[in-house]
């Protein structure tokens, strides 16, 4: 009888432990691991891989000669030794720029080669007219290089760019980025058959999280760096945490 009573209690505890494990949010490195290395560089991406992230988020622009490059700002002034709008650069002139820390601005394919299908890559369409080239890269790496389609997700604050992407590709995972009220993204999320809403963590509470999840979307919130904030969004039940310091989420 004692043995049966023990099993009676142990089984629910094991089930509960399994459920708790499932609820751990994905750890998503922001622009690689920009709390440690210059953002959106190969060094930053490598650091995120070294820290064991589940996903890496990067930003992309298309420059004047057609290449898709990994960079966050509209201008190169903040992070490089030169001025100018990044979209107006050609690849030759861009290669002459040096980023803080002595790095070079990578192209999208440089990051893809480095990641090598090890983790999910969240490509944020930062610049205009990026959807087509990014879609070409996704199709190439899934069809010719053996990448899992599950290892790509495309996000943007530019919803028209996401609409263009969806017309080009009816199956790629899309996440809707939003700065203000996260619930305002539900309609476009439904329209584009998105998998996730990516809101500013400051605009989340338990009711908002519940509403988004009831609508069928995951929540990958940004950019959560302080331990107290990380604990708070974990307790709300978000599905992923985008952070400059991935090691703080574990």
- Residues 134, 61 contacting (CB under 8 angstroms): no
Kindly tell me if the per-residue pLDDT of 2 is higher than 50: no
Contacts with 177 (C-beta within 8 Å, 6 or more apart), sequence order: 124, 155, 156, 157, 198, 222
Whole-number pLDDT of residue 1: 45
Alpha helix ranges (H) inside 76-171: 91-95, 108-115, 131-143, 159-168
Whole-number pLDDT of residue 22: 53
Strands 218-221 and 240-243: parallel
Alpha helix ranges (H) inside the chain: 2-22, 42-50, 91-95, 108-115, 131-143, 159-168, 186-191, 206-214, 227-236
- Residues 56, 34 contacting (CB under 8 angstroms): no
Whole-number pLDDT of residue 19: 46
How much of the chain exceeds pLDDT 70, in percent? 91
- Residues 199, 185 contacting (CB under 8 angstroms): yes
Mean pLDDT of the chain: 93
Whole-number pLDDT of residue 25: 98
CA distance to 85, 96, 101, per residue, from 82 (Å):
10, 9, 14
Kindly tell me if the per-residue pLDDT of 180 is higher than 90: yes
Domains of the chain: 25-248 (3.20.20.190)
Kindly tell me if the per-residue pLDDT of 239 is higher than 90: yes
pLDDT tens digits along 192-219? 999 999 999 999 999 999 999 999 999 9
- Residues 203, 182 contacting (CB under 8 angstroms): yes
176: phi then psi, degrees, rounded to nearest 5: -95, 115
Whole-number pLDDT of residue 8: 46
Enter the pTM of the model. Answer: 0.92
pLDDT tens digits along 4-58? 444 444 444 444 445 444 579 999 999 999 999 999 999 999 999 999 999 999 9
Whole-number pLDDT of residue 23: 78
- Residues 42, 106 contacting (CB under 8 angstroms): yes
pLDDT tens digits along 82-108? 999 999 999 999 999 999 999 999 999
Contacts with 118 (C-beta within 8 Å, 6 or more apart), sequence order: 49
Residue 8 half-sphere exposure toward CB, CA atoms < 13 A: 5
Please tell me the distance from the alpha carbon of residue 98 to that of residue 234, in angstroms, as a whole number: 38
Strands 173-178 and 152-156: parallel
């Amino acid at each position: 009888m004692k043995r049966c009573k023990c099993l009676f209690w142990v089984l629910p505890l094991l089930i509960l432990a399994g459920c708790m494990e499932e609820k751990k949010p994905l750890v998503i490195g922001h622009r690689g691991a920009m709390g440690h290395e210059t953002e959106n560089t190969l060094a930053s991406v490598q650091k995120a891989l070294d820290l064991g992230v589940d996903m890496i988020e990067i930003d992309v622009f298309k420059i004047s000669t057609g290449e898709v490059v990994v960079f966050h700002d509209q201008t190169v002034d903040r992070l490089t030794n030169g001025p100018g709008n990044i979209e107006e650069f050609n690849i030759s002139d861009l290669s002459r720029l040096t980023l803080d820390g002595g790095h070079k601005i990578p192209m999208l394919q440089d990051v893809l080669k480095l990641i090598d299908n090890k983790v999910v890559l969240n490509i944020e369409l930062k610049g205009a007219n990026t959807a087509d080239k990014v879609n070409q890269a996704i199709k190439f790496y899934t069809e010719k290089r053996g990448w899992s389609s599950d290892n790509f997700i495309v996000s943007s604050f530019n919803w028209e760019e996401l609409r263009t992407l969806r017309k080009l590709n009816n199956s790629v995972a899309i996440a809707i980025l939003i700065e203000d009220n996260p619930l305002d993204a539900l309609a476009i999320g439904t329209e584009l058959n998105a998998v996730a809403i990516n809101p500013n963590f400051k605009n989340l509470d338990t009711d908002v999280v519940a509403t988004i999840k009831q609508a069928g979307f995951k929540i990958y919130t940004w950019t959560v760096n302080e331990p107290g904030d990380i604990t708070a969004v974990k307790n709300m039940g978000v599905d992923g945490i985008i952070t400059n310091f991935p090691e703080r989420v574990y």
